[in-house]
Amino acid sequence: ILNVEQSPQSLHVQEGDSTNFTCSFPSSNFYALHWYRWETAKSPEALFVMTLNGDEKKKGRISATLNTKEGYSYLYIKGSQPEDSATYLCAFTGSGNTGKLIFGQGTTLQVKP
C-alpha cells in the first residue's frame, strides 16, 4: 500500500498567524494530488487538485504548491482566522491506478481568537 504522510499531526496558532503544513507522497508514477478541508461534523470539501510539477494554486488566503520530483506538497494559510479551524487532508493518486485516492491522516488546525 502506498504511503501518504502529513505533518504536523496538529497545530495550534493564534488568529492572524500564517501557517503551513506538509504532505509527502511517492515521487514515482504521480498522477494527481488533492487537498481537502474537513470541518468537524461536516464532510470533506475539495480545496485544490494539482497535477503538474511546480503547480501553485490559490483560493483566498489559502495556497498550495507541488513538487512531484521530490514527492511533497505544501499548504499555506495566510493570516489564519478561527473559521480556518479544521482538519486538512491531502490525497494522492498514482498513474498506475487512477481510480484510487490514498489519503494522509490529516493535519488538524486550531486557530485561537
Partner 1 sequence: EAQVTQNPRYLITVTGKKLTVTCSQNMNHEYMSWYRQDPGLGLRQIYYSMNVEVTDKGDVPEGYKVSRKEKRNFPLILESPSPNQTSLYFCASSFYGAQGDGYTFGSGTRLTVV
Which residues here bind partner 1, judged by CB under 8 A? 1, 31-32, 34, 36, 43-49, 51, 89, 91, 93, 97-106
Side chain identity at residue 68, one-letter code: T
CA distance 64 to 75: 4
Grid cell, residue 98, equals 487512477
Pick 18 or 97: Cβ nearer partner 1: 97
Pick 18 or 51: Cβ nearer partner 1: 51
Side chain identity at residue 9, one-letter code: Q
Pick 14 or 40: Cβ nearer partner 1: 40
Tell me how far, at minimum, the Cβ of 89 lies from partner 1, in Å: 7
CA distance 82 to 113: 6
Tell me how far, at minimum, the Cβ of 31 lies from partner 1, in Å: 6
CB of 108 closer than 8 Å to CB of 87: yes
